[in-house]
Structures are given as structure tokens and as C-alpha cells.
Amino acid sequence: MISLELLKRELKTLGSLDKAKILQYFFKTKPGQYGAGDVFLGITVPLVRQTAKKYVNLSLSDISLLLKSKFHEFRLAALLILVLKYEKATDLKTKKEIVDFYLKHSFWINNWDLVDLSVYKILGNYLLTSKDKDDILNRLANSSYLWERRMAIVSTYAFIKSGRYQETFLISKKLMKDDHDLIHKAIGWMLREVGKRISKEKLEKFLIKNISGMPRVSLRYALEHFSQKDRQYFLKK
């Protein structure tokens, strides 16, 4: 508990009211917006990351308390520490314990940066060799909770980084009818990475097959590394 209080105190000293106002606008915290009610201290991600590294030995029970904080940067620090713990773990039992903890606390992983900076490094990495991969990805993709659906698609970044694209294509197709812009953007981001890191040809084939049902924002993101000529070809379809 002493380390937890020290971490909280240290983070609070790094806050900036001016930055907090900017972040609360940027992360859409007004009533009715996706980040409604989120409270920022006004700390940059590099500073939160730098601070979190000093508290990698924080217990899971303390991380749980930190994750349940009203302060966005506290939750971010908790997740960055969890990533470090996962990366340091040398046995599957410990890794699974961290993954189970992550999924159990998904309610508090409640903004796009919190998902994007943690999910593929923890859950995605674990699913690379898990026999429960399909069950977990499908459960998250079918969730009524926006951030769990984003977890489903962004976790496939770990597969892309390891040279696999099938999981990204499957979850992208499953989520194409989603009604939220943040899911559309995440789909486009992951598809873009398939084309960039694995195969532009495989991405093109996927786009041709699925373009009629794809949100336009997803398509635009997916085409970012294409030539102007190729972008226009797909955008006019």
C-alpha cells in the first residue's frame, strides 16, 4: 500500500491543469460522449510510462485499486505496470493470471488509449498460443461494451506483428456492422497494418471481397499506405 500511495502522489505532482483541460476535450469526456465522466490530471503518456516503470513490483491487488480510480492517468499507469509484469513473466501460469486479471477488470479499461496501449501486449500476445483464442476473441467482439469490442480487434495487432492476418480479417468482418466510429477506426488501423507489415495483396483481396459492407472510415484508414491511384480505385467502388 505504501508503494501505491507513493505512485499516486508522484503522478499527482506531474499533473497540469492546462493539459488536463485539453485532454478532457480530446478524449470526449462530456455527457453523452464516449469518455463521459473521465477525469484527467494532465500528464503526458511518456511521463506516466516513466513513472510506472519504477513501480513494476506493485501487487495485483494494488493495481486493481489503481485501475478503479477516477483519474485516467492512474488507470493508464496501472495498465502500463501490468504490461511490464506480463513481459517480465517467464511462465505460462503467471501470464495467464495477468490475462485473467486484465479481462476481469475490462470495465475500467474504458478509453481508446487505455485499450490500445495494453491489449495487444497482454491479451493479444497470450492468445498467440492459447487454445481459447477463438472463444475469447468472439466473446469480446460480441460484447455490448464498446471497449471490449475494441479489445477484440486491437488485440489482433499481436498476430499481425507475428506475421498472421487471419484473426484480423475474421474480427474485422464480425465488427463491420458495429455502430461506433471508434470500432470503425480500429478496424481500418488493423487492416492497414496487415497491408503494411504482411501483404498488400492479401489486404487488397480482402477489401475487394468486403468493400460493400465496410464503413468508409475503415476503408480510408486501411488505404493510408496505398498510392493515390490505388486509393481512388477503392474509394470509388
CA angle in degrees (0–180, nearest 5) for 26-190-129: 120
- Residue 36 in any domain: the answer is yes
Residues contacting residue 133 through CB under 8 Å, at least 6 positions apart: 127, 167
Which residue would you say has higher pLDDT here, 6 or 237? Answer: 6
Residues 73-88 have a mean pLDDT of 98
- Residue 224 in any domain: the answer is no
- Mean pLDDT score across all residues of the chain: 96
The Cα-based distances of 44 to 12, 52, 59, 71, 118 in angstroms read: 12, 12, 24, 13, 16
Task: State residue 40's pLDDT score.
Answer: 97
- Residue 122 in any domain: the answer is no
Distance from C-alpha of 80 to C-alpha of 30, rounded to nearest angstrom: 26
Percent of the chain with pLDDT over 70: 100
Residues 185-208 have a mean pLDDT of 97
Q: 14 phi and psi, to 5 degrees? A: -90, -5
- Residue 10 in any domain: the answer is yes
- Residue 35 in any domain: the answer is yes
Task: State residue 237's pLDDT score.
Answer: 78
The per-residue pLDDT for range 148-167, each reduced to its tens digit, is 999 999 999 999 999 999 99
Q: 71 phi and psi, to 5 degrees? A: -85, 125
- Residue 177 in any domain: the answer is no
Residue numbers of the domain that contains 74 = 1-94
Q: How many domains does the chain have?
A: 1
The Cα-based distances of 122 to 4, 80, 211, 217, 230 in angstroms read: 22, 10, 31, 27, 35
Q: 209 phi and psi, to 5 degrees? A: -75, -30
> Would you place residue 1 in the very low, low, confident or very high pLDDT band (cuts 50, 70, 90)?
low
- Residue 181 in any domain: the answer is no
Distance from C-alpha of 178 to C-alpha of 142, rounded to nearest angstrom: 10
Task: Answer positive or negative: Cα dihedral of 125, 129, 135, 137.
Answer: positive
pTM, two decimals, is 0.96
CATH of the domain at 42: 1.25.10.90
- Residue 187 in any domain: the answer is no
